[in-house]
Structure 1
Amino acid sequence: MTFAKFRIPWFKQSQRRSLSVQMMWAGLGITLGFVAIALLAPTLQSWGWLQDPMQSLTNPLHQPPSAEHWFGTSRQGYDVFSRTLFGAQAALKVVFLATVLSVLVGVPLGMVSGYIGGRIDRILLFLMDAIYTLPGLLLSVTLAFIVGRGVVNAAIALSIAYVPQYYRVVRNHTVSVKTELFIEAAQATGASTWRVLSRYLFANVIQSVPVLFTLNAADAALTLGSLGFLGLGLPDQTPEWGLDLRQALDALPTGIWWTAFFPGLALTLLVVGLSLLGEGLNELINPLLRRENWTR
């Protein structure tokens, strides 16, 4: 009986960890698949294996999938297969740029705010909380309307909504770590604020950022699709899944399903891949979840 009490929690934890690893690898595989597609699409076009995604074909229009056009053609005359593949390039550009910008802004602000404290901390905390209370999609739509369309503008509109998340996580970790003995020892030896932040604090508060990065990337991909559907993402004729879904909306009642199905499927797979990667990393990295799994 005593042996069973120790054996069952270990077995549950082992199962949970195995599932987390599988989720992480599945998400990584899907994400890397889209990265490969984005990188290879221009090469395939130069070899003549892909149509120009921005060139409208005069014939055939809104034709179903066939050997000549694998995903069919749209009512605007675009090759859906080519636009779906190039849409991965546009999505990954905006998503990567948006998440990197939010990390570059949110992490330093969180470290400085948590370490220095005082009035700076109160002002930044109030500002970030004010931004965080706004719905992310609504904030992105408003910012996109202000800054205009384009890859960089869309990335800026998306990144501002994610900065408070990095700020709050890093600030809270900084507040808890700055009271540790090694930080006090560094301060006692006369280390400057910059040296303490860059050498001692950074490595200890950055651990949760990769998980947040992947989860925000999944949300950014979905939000970009929403902006494109609303006509606020990338310029017209740019191969972008949300924009293609918007153009395909009028064709659905007439039975032209393929112009919406394939871009929507690609967007869904990318979001699922990034979400699986983020959740798998979170299960493996987060010490609170590991401790919770051990007690079950």
Structure 2
Amino acid sequence: MSRGPSEAFFVPVTVASTGLPGSRKIAALGRLLLRRPLLPLGVAVLLLVLSWSVWPGVFSHYDPLLGVPAHALQAPSVEHWFGTDHLGRDLYSRTVHGASLSLRATALAVLIALVAGIALGIVAGFFGGPLDAILMRLVEVLMAIPSLLLAMAVITVLGFGTVNIALAVGLSSVATFARLVRGEVLRWRTSTFVEAAAACGAGPWSIIRRHILAHAAGPVMALAALEFGSAVLSVSALSFLGFGAPPPQPEWGLLIAEGRNYMIAAWWYTTLPGVVVAAVVLATNQVARALQDRHGVRR
């Protein structure tokens, strides 16, 4: 039985369309949103805070370092969204401008932990032997020490300041990345395609770069997103304790520390910057968990 022109055209198009990559991606995105319904809100919060750090002047027209003493400790209003501090400075403006200092320190901390952890994990997992045993014992020692306590010890040696906080927080997180990367290297080192690459004459570093790291990138990036939220908390905590930038710099932790003496008379002084820090951490965790679902990572 012969088919008409329209029927002959219709059937192959229908069959081909069922396997479109775009359809599969949309379906996967839909399943992800069903599991993580708060993910769009988390992404929006992160984009907003990142915009604060890049273009703070666009989001606030007040000078974060200048205040009007007559306007001290004013409650949140249309003119001052977060109220004012004890020197009459606009607290919303200080929170917006503080995003640059806090997020820059956080990003540097995660970058340090990422680079050092990847290096340790690759060397330990790929080359193995006594070197693996020594490095893993070192990692276990680092993981046995609470990260905040270890960061405070590093700051005691390096001195105060935002950059030193970033170094301290980054060094305290190296062990987590090293353990994950080592596990991924051990997972993929004996794979068929790695053995085939070695049989074809590929060198160790070529195999690591082109094959092992390519497969480990997803879980490592998911962990980096999760550690970013932890680093925000650690940087803010160390700044709260006075280890960060000195006043009048508007670091988030310093803003919360300055407001603790006015909690009864001016609840907004500590509460609203603290809400921003909590929102950033929760939003980062939403993104990190979505990445972990995507790559099958469990921590």
Under a length normalisation based on structure 2, what TM-score does the superposition of the two structures give? 0.84
Mapped partners of 2:163, 2:171: distance in 1? 13
Mapped partners of 1:28, 1:68: distance in 2? 28
CA RMSD of aligned residues (A): 2.2
The residue identity in structure 1 corresponding to 2:250 is: P
2:156 pairs with 142, 145, 150, which one?
145
CA contact (8 A) 2:112 2:170 kept: yes
Range with bigger deviation, 165-174 or 234-243 = 234-243
1:198-277 paired onto structure 2 within 5 Å: 198-253=209-264, 255-277=265-287
Partner residue, 2:4: none
1:62 paired to 2:73: yes
Mapped partners of 1:111, 1:72: distance in 2? 50
Shift of 1:87: 1.7
Mapped partners of 1:286, 1:279: distance in 2? 10
User: Secondary structure of the equivalent of 2:70?
Assistant: coil
CA contact (8 A) 1:24 1:279 kept: no
Shift of 1:40: 2.1
1:78 to 1:288, Cα distance in 2 relative to 1, 3 A = closer
Shift of 1:234: 2.2
1:85 paired to 2:100: no
CA contact (8 A) 2:219 2:297 kept: no
1:31 paired to 2:42: no
CA contact (8 A) 2:36 2:286 kept: no
Q: Which runs of 5+ in 1 are unaligned?
A: 1-12, 290-296
Shift of 1:279: 1.3
CA contact (8 A) 1:102 1:162 kept: yes
Partner residue, 1:136: 147
CA contact (8 A) 1:30 1:273 kept: yes
Higher relative contact order (CA 8 A, sep 6+): 1
Q: Which has the larger radius of gyration?
A: 2
Partner residue, 2:15: none
2:180 pairs with 169, 173, 176, which one?
169
Partner residue, 2:9: none
User: Secondary structure of the equivalent of 2:176?
Assistant: helix
Mapped partners of 2:77, 2:200: distance in 1? 72
Q: What is the percentage of aligned positions where both structures have the same residue?
A: 31
CA contact (8 A) 1:147 1:153 kept: yes
Mapped partners of 1:198, 1:150: distance in 2? 35
User: Secondary structure of the equivalent of 1:94?
Assistant: helix
CA contact (8 A) 2:33 2:39 kept: no
1:77 to 1:141, Cα distance in 2 relative to 1, 3 A = farther
The residue identity in structure 2 corresponding to 1:160 is: L
Mapped partners of 1:288, 1:234: distance in 2? 36
1:118 pairs with 105, 108, 129, which one?
129
CA contact (8 A) 1:24 1:278 kept: no
Mapped partners of 2:129, 2:163: distance in 1? 34
Partner residue, 2:55: 40
Shift of 1:59: 2.6
CA contact (8 A) 2:222 2:292 kept: yes
User: Secondary structure of the equivalent of 1:22?
Assistant: coil
Shift of 1:256: 1.1
The residue identity in structure 1 corresponding to 2:173 is: Y
Shift of 1:15: 9.2
Mapped partners of 2:83, 2:165: distance in 1? 29
1:284 paired to 2:291: no
1:184 paired to 2:179: no
Under a length normalisation based on structure 1, what TM-score does the superposition of the two structures give? 0.85
CA contact (8 A) 1:143 1:157 kept: yes
User: Secondary structure of the equivalent of 1:206?
Assistant: helix
